[in-house]
Structure 1
Amino acid sequence: MDILATVVAPWQAFLTKLANFLPNIFAAGVIVIAGYFFAKLVQLATVKLLAWIHFEQAAEKSGIKEVLEKGAIRQSPSELIGLLIYWLLVLLVMVTALNALGLPVAAVVVLILGLLFANFFATAVQTACSNAKIVQAENFGKVAKYAIVVFAVGMAMEQLGIATEMVLAAFVLLFGAVCLAAALAFGIGGREIAAEFLRKWFEEHKRGR
């Protein structure tokens, strides 16, 4: 009987906790589903509103659209703004759902903000490299994105109290990735400059003869 009680007791405790937690899970699920559709609706409404006030024409005249196209960004300026608003609303929904579950909010906030910033920073890096006529612009954007994602995951784990030392490792990785990207950018860009310099030098040398 003692052995049976020892085996059954943990399962009874688990099922009791699960039964008490089910209403919170249901509430969080409803919040996430309703919040997702609401965020999508607001995103579409934002894009429609910006189209109605002729925001695209203003972006084209100001040169913003051209810069985005050079960076191989498929979304229009209106769609990018709608996407930003969508993710901000998703963040708010996730925070509300976590409150319903009674889980740490800070970790998810850090993670979502990190992922959001990683996407936009990668886009900015790719656009800047494309406008600078660097061939590997897309790869530089990916390096920047993955480095920030790793850093965000490390920060979220620190908030959860998991592997605090990983935050330091993620920061070192981020710093190393940025240095590597900068070195590659300099190498690729510098190679073209060096080739042009040598070509001019040989032409002048031949003329001198």
Structure 2
Amino acid sequence: MINDIGNSIASALSDSLIATANLLPNLLAAVIIFIVGVIIASILRRILIRILEAVNFEGALSTTGIPQALKKTETSLTISGLLGELLRWFVILIFLIPAVDQLGLGAVNDVLKSLLLYIPNVVVAVIIVAIGAIFAKIARDFVTATATGLGAQMAQIVGEVARWSIVIFTLLA
């Protein structure tokens, strides 16, 4: 009976060591894939920030009020920095999928793939809302100026109604 217990313990330890030995190459490969992804993501982030700063992306968006809204959040990020961070995390997510796949975690891999496929929809929605906000501001200024020129008493209110109408329709799109 004592031999059976000893054999069971030895067998369990042997199986554990074999499983660990089989896992180590996959774990090492997953870590390498992830580290390469983080390095590439950081490089792409720096490149994007430099490109956006070179073309004065912040200045182009200053009329939309987005940089001012970002400053109110009390963060040190600029719009270029924010877009750079979003790109960095997107690339990290791309590299995380094969790293998780290397570990054989199919369910986690499926969730990451679903998330990765959903991100472009969010980006398009943000772009639509940003363009809508720009057009809404232009429409407000145009309607306010026109109503003021016509001598309307409530030109500001009419302009704001035009702006919010466009914003609401944009959000519904």
* TM bracket (short chain): 0.5 to 0.7
1:143-198: CA deviations, max 9, x gaps? xxxxxxxxxxxxxxxxxxxxxxxxxxxxxxxxxxxxxxxxxxxxxxxxxxxxxxxx
Matches within 5 A, 1:21-170: 21-104=23-106, 105-107=109-111
1:27-52: CA deviations, max 9, x gaps? 10110111111111111111001011
1:106-164: CA deviations, max 9, x gaps? 34567899xxx9xxxxxxxxxxxxxxxxxxxxxxxxxxxxxxxxxxxxxxxxxxxxxxx
Structure 1 letter corresponding to 2:48? T
Q: What is the distance in 1 between the residues matched to 2:98 and 2:87?
A: 17
Structure 2 letter corresponding to 1:68? L
Q: What is the distance in 2 between the residues matched to 1:107 and 1:63?
A: 35
Structure 2: gaps of 5 or more residues: 123-173
Q: What is the distance in 1 between the residues matched to 2:31 and 2:82?
A: 27
1:102 is paired with a residue whose SS is coil
Structure 1 letter corresponding to 2:43? L
Structure 1 letter corresponding to 2:99? A
Conserved? CA contact 2:30–2:102, under 8 Å: yes
- Cα offset, 1:67, TM superposition: 1.4
Q: Who wins on radius of gyration, i.e. which is larger? A: 2
Aligned length: 115
Runs of 4+ more than 3 Å apart: 107-113
Of 9, 19, 27, which residue of structure 1 is paired with 2:21? 19
Structure 2 letter corresponding to 1:83? E
Conserved? CA contact 2:94–2:116, under 8 Å: no
Pairing 1:3–2:11 present: no
Q: What is the distance in 2 between the residues matched to 1:51 and 1:111?
A: 29
Q: Measured at CA, do residues 110 and 10 of structure 1 come closer, stay the same or move farther in structure 2, by a change above 3 Å?
A: farther
1:4 is paired with a residue whose SS is helix
- Cα offset, 1:74, TM superposition: 2.1
Q: Measured at CA, do residues 77 and 34 of structure 1 come closer, stay the same or move farther in structure 2, by a change above 3 Å?
A: same
Q: What is the distance in 1 between the residues matched to 2:113 and 2:78?
A: 27
**What root-mean-square deviation, in Å, do the aligned CA atoms of Structure 1 and Structure 2 show?**
2.4
- Cα offset, 1:26, TM superposition: 1.0
Conserved? CA contact 2:57–2:80, under 8 Å: yes
Structure 1: gaps of 5 or more residues: 118-209
TM-score, reference length from structure 2 = 0.60
